[in-house]
Chain A
Amino acid sequence: MLEIKNVTKKFGEKTALNGLSFNIPTGSVFGLIGSNGSGKSTLLRVISGVYEPDGGSVEIDGVSTFENPEVKAQCFFISDFPYFYNNSTVANLSVLYKSMYPSWSDDKFRKLACMFPIGINDRIINMSKGMQRQAALMLALSVSPKYLMLDEIFDGLDPVVRQLIKKLLVEMVTENNSTIIIASHNLRELEDVCDHIGLIHSGGIVLEKELDEAKLGIHRVQIVFDHDVGEGMFSELNVVKMQRQGKLINLTIKGDGEQIEKYLRGMQPTYMEMLPLTLEEVFISEMEVVGYDIDNIIK
């Protein structure tokens, strides 16, 4: 269990994380989503022990990660821009990581080296952005960490490699019971691989749930009435958003799906359909709740 306990991180006057608290269950793939500058990368750095929190703590199995080599040996962090020295190659970095991480597996490294289309003796700095990420992932997966933190890992990867990586991540979770935390704006990819999501905004947690639960807790309804309907008619529902297109009304409603359907059907609509929400729609809906929507930005 990875516990984030009341974590605060400030950069000068700016508060990047503001008393953040939630848990990430072991063996989960946790998608960390949020607006730009919400604190996702900062949180990953705090979890990885790169940043020292100004308040609170991040604990793995009850032990703080910061300045704790034993705990950090179970973690691996790939930042949004992985760093490589000029002369770094996958091969010479493997020597470093092998000696630093007790869980390093040569077999796995060899297998991954055959799997990824990159030369392990090539200078990483000369590789494309996507290949650099693949190099970083090769090394990370060879470590087989208990906790893998990935920041915008899908950026610059082609669809095939994305599929490959998702497959490898799922395998890792299955085989090692590893916990993976992925911060990304690519919600489509997260939706495929994550079983938990956490939505943060302005340094605070907005939502932290299992993905399915998150999706089930919010619903999009298309509904048509043959009579005029005022906005006040839906006041008993937790309507997040309502849009009219002629007689067609699009509603985004939070709450229990069955109760919402029963309530709406009781209003005798001429047409009604409840549609599933994508993660992106969930994100937008939730962000609208906290005032982060396009209308507000335009204003």
Chain B
Amino acid sequence: MTLTTLSSKELKPLYKWALKRNKSVMIIYSLFLLVFGPILNMYIISSSSSYGSDYEELSIITLIIYQVLAAFFTFVSSLKTFSYLHNKRSVDMFGALPANRTTMYVSHLLAGLTSISGPYFVMSILTLGITTRTGDMLKFGLYTVGTTLLMIIAAYVFTSLIAYCCGTVIDTAIVTIGANAIWVGIIGIYYGFITEMIPGVDFEAIIDTPLLVLFAPYGFSIMGTVYYEMEQTGSLVTLLIWNLIFIAGMLFLALLAANKRKAETSQNGFAVKWLPMVIKAGASVVCGGFIGVIAAEVADSGYNNMFVFCFWYVIIGLVAFTILHIIFARGFKGKLLPSLFTYLGTTAAAIAVLFGFSFGMGMDTYVPNPATVKSVTFDNTEFKDPENIKTITEIHKVITAGIRYENEYPYYLGDDSYSYDPYYTKSYYDDTYADDELYTDDVYSNSKTTTNNYYLVNQANCSFIYKRKVGFGVTRYYYMYVNNERKNYYDYDKMNDLLTKLYSSEEYKKIANQDLFDDEATANIVSADLNYFYYTGYGKTSDYVSSGIANLSTDETFMQGFREALRQDILEDPEYLPNVRINYYKDNYGDLSLGLGDRCIELQTVYKYEKEGSMPTFNSNYDYSPNYNDGTYTITTLIKGSYKNTYKYLSDHQVVPKVIDNYSDFAFSYPQSYYDFCEDGRPDTLRKLTEDVSIEFAVTACSTVYGVDPNEWLDKNYNDYKDALLKKSDELYKKYFDDLETPDEPETKYFSGYDEYYDSYYDEYSEPIYTKQADNILNELLSFSFEYVEKSVNKKSVV
């Protein structure tokens, strides 16, 4: 397009004429926009009492509906605008007009763009004006309007190019839809293949680049919104740049086509002869591949899946190819048999490439060179320290080293043997609370009592997202969990060492405690409370119990000193634990597993937002709880028994006695809570339960009552204490249960009642019959444990 064209005197009348032709589409489109935009929004707002974020949701929904409408009407309008090329009579009329072909094209393109982008822009701004209440929303709105306008231009120019390549409107429509769908389909299928067959490669990686919509302009704005929502700025910028390049490229080709197209092509096949062949071949790949993958998944017959895939690929691909051939040739008059050679060639090539994925193509074992990596996001945390990057690549290597060993190689489609499904695990990860994100037993990793000393990242999902200093990044997701079988393939000891090193690094500690290490955040503290917390687990259940034991002063001087002490302890902690929920399973007591390592004091710090919209985003490295009602968020930090500086600071400031006081009250009311776990009321079970509770109580008392590191205490006293406890338990067991018969199944009594908490009636409730005896045993065991600890640490409690 040259300035000469834009300034030519013929442009304006042709533009106006083409715009007039598009009037009907423009009116219908505007009505849709009006109804789904301003009218609907005003109606909902006028009938709603809510204010604020609800409006913004409304605005987002409207803008997304607008994107879909824009794509649809761009398609319709572009077909209509350039339909003059597809009718011999109109070609006569326009061809004879005193205007060159460039002017003819540009005038029609501008008119078409005006008819779609004009109403879109006006209605979008109107809708934003009605619904937008915040700067963020306005930013999102304007961004969406901008990307949608770019999409309209890209899609319009693309369809115009196709229109010049085709002889009829129907062919233009088929090729336009086909080209968009085939591109997305081919990329989707190939990525699906890679993801399904090659362990570690992430399906979502496709979303990180504009590859999915590279030649599917109708998807540009939707993809842009996805990036915006996912806050993928890099992808967003890449997409926008590509959008502009695409427009420029397509415009160049369309102008070329406009000047090369022969008028007689109208109603007569294709101006570009190879175009239908490409569409037919592409459709055969997509349809054949799609059905082939489904058939292979359904067949589930191991390596034969690949042959099932090929069979259906060939059949369905042929059907798709033939149907399109009949459509394009308007029957069988076209030369079907010769064109089948193209089909056979495409099919052979596609299957060869797909089979190639069976061998991993090197992607299954590839780990980037740490020297080339700028940063790596591992388990949702971005590391930039070169040492940590190196550690993470080593962890990655431990995984890749076991990949081929564990999984049957070469891989095959539908191989469920390694339950590898990164898409699933990623979703699982996103939807799951922190309990499942980090899995370790390590509070007492040096203790002889522990057996399974393994970190597991994300429990089932482990991600590596590398950003390079130069070039494309690398993303891998793995499905990882510890079981005995897997231990044969993966070097978990090495991985554990590497993870310990990583999580003990200063960089990680600061990431995981970003508010604590931020001096300015001290001024935003609303409250800081100490809680006692522990995990309980009985059988398959586990629960988290927390109880407040002290409120700290928010005085800035006190708080700065306290936080400095805590920072120092965290930085000096040789085995720092990410402060997310920590699970620990102890094998000593068979199926009775109580969280032995999970009792700690935890610090709950409530911060206020600095300003609207400054609420931290979810981060799996710290326990974070936002409160949108009062504009605060809470960060929870563990204070381990080994944090001497912190305990000293608390002790120096008279906080410890308060902690001990509150804890003692709590501890002795504890027996009431264990009824919840007494589903099985047999004496044997009750005994184990009371013993386990007592051990936990003793260990907890070390850190919370006496300020003693439980690790040290366990190292010195655990075996003796356990022997003494079991001996005491024997005595008590005989005392309270010997004169009773022990039925195989406990008697229970049932009754109805009203639950005030849930504000509902319940029909039946069973209660263990031996609770009275268990109460007595537990109380005596707790007293015994408390005294044992007191004696062993040589301190006197204030209780």
Contacts of A76 in B (CB 8 A): 96
**Inter-chain contact B89/A49, CB cutoff 8 Å:** no
Contacts of A72 in B (CB 8 A): 96-99
Mark B252-282 against chain A: 1 for CB-CB distance below 8 A, else 0.
0000000000111000000000000000000
Closest to A42 in B: B264
Residue with the highest number of chain B CB atoms closer than 10 Å, among A75, A76, A99 = A99
Closest to B23 in A: A87
**Inter-chain contact A96/B13, CB cutoff 8 Å:** yes
Number of residues from A at the complex interface, CB < 8 A: 29
**Inter-chain contact B98/A82, CB cutoff 8 Å:** no
State in angstroms the CA–CA spacing of A49 and B97 once bound together: 9
> Does chain A have a CB within 8 A of B91?
yes
State in angstroms the CA–CA spacing of A45 and B264 once bound together: 10
Q: How many A-B residue pairs have CB under 8 A?
A: 67
Q: A276 to nearest B CB, angstroms?
A: 37
> Does chain A have a CB within 8 A of B17?
yes
**Inter-chain contact A51/B96, CB cutoff 8 Å:** no
Find residues 85-132 in chain B having any chain A CB closer than 8 Å to their own CB. 87, 89-93, 95-101, 103
Contacts of B97 in A (CB 8 A): 72, 100
Contacts of B728 in A (CB 8 A): none
Tell whether A69 pairs with B92 under 8 Å between CB atoms, given A51-B263, A83-B87, A92-B20. no
Tell whether A70 pairs with B96 under 8 Å between CB atoms, given A85-B21, A100-B13. no
> Does chain B have a CB within 8 A of A101?
yes
Q: B32 to nearest A CB, angstroms?
A: 21
Contacts of A82 in B (CB 8 A): 89, 93
Tell whether A77 pairs with B90 under 8 Å between CB atoms, given A85-B21, A96-B17. no
> Does chain B have a CB within 8 A of A79?
yes
**Inter-chain contact A83/B89, CB cutoff 8 Å:** yes
**Inter-chain contact A100/B10, CB cutoff 8 Å:** yes
Residue with the highest number of chain B CB atoms closer than 10 Å, among A51, A70, A83, A85 = A83
> Does chain B have a CB within 8 A of A52?
yes
Contacts of B87 in A (CB 8 A): 83
Tell whether A50 pairs with B17 under 8 Å between CB atoms, given A81-B89, A100-B10. no
State in angstroms the CA–CA spacing of A102 and B8 once bound together: 14
Closest to A149 in B: B96
State in angstroms the CA–CA spacing of A96 and B84 once bound together: 16
Number of residues from B at the complex interface, CB < 8 A: 25
Tell whether A11 pairs with B96 under 8 Å between CB atoms, given A83-B90, A96-B13. no
> Does chain B have a CB within 8 A of A8?
no
**Inter-chain contact A69/B99, CB cutoff 8 Å:** yes
**Inter-chain contact B21/A50, CB cutoff 8 Å:** no
Q: A183 to nearest B CB, angstroms?
A: 13
Contacts of B14 in A (CB 8 A): 100
**Inter-chain contact A67/B100, CB cutoff 8 Å:** yes
> Does chain B have a CB within 8 A of A48?
yes
**Inter-chain contact A69/B10, CB cutoff 8 Å:** yes
Closest to B8 in A: A69
> Does chain A have a CB within 8 A of B448?
no
> Does chain A have a CB within 8 A of B12?
yes
Neighbour of B98 across the interface among A45, A85, A95, A100, CB < 8 A: A100
Find residues 71-91 in chain A having any chain B CB closer than 8 Å to their own CB. 72-73, 75-77, 79, 81-83, 85, 87
**Inter-chain contact B100/A69, CB cutoff 8 Å:** yes
**Inter-chain contact A50/B89, CB cutoff 8 Å:** no
Neighbour of A49 across the interface among B12, B93, B95, CB < 8 A: B95
Q: B102 to nearest A CB, angstroms?
A: 9
Contacts of A100 in B (CB 8 A): 10, 13-14, 97-99
Tell whether A52 pairs with B262 under 8 Å between CB atoms, given A96-B13, A99-B12, A99-B13. yes
Contacts of B92 in A (CB 8 A): 45, 48, 50, 77, 79, 83
* 9 pairs from A and B in contact (CB 8 Å cutoff): A45-B95, A50-B91, A51-B95, A51-B263, A75-B98, A77-B92, A83-B92, A92-B20, A96-B13
In addition to A72-B97, A75-B98, A82-B93, 19 A-B residue pairs with Cβ atoms within 8 Å of each other are A11-B264, A48-B96, A49-B96, A50-B95, A51-B263, A67-B101, A68-B100, A69-B99, A69-B100, A69-B103, A75-B96, A76-B96, A77-B96, A79-B89, A82-B89, A92-B20, A100-B10, A100-B13, A100-B98
Closest 8 CB pairs of A and B: A50-B95, A99-B13, A83-B89, A73-B98, A77-B96, A79-B92, A72-B98, A83-B93
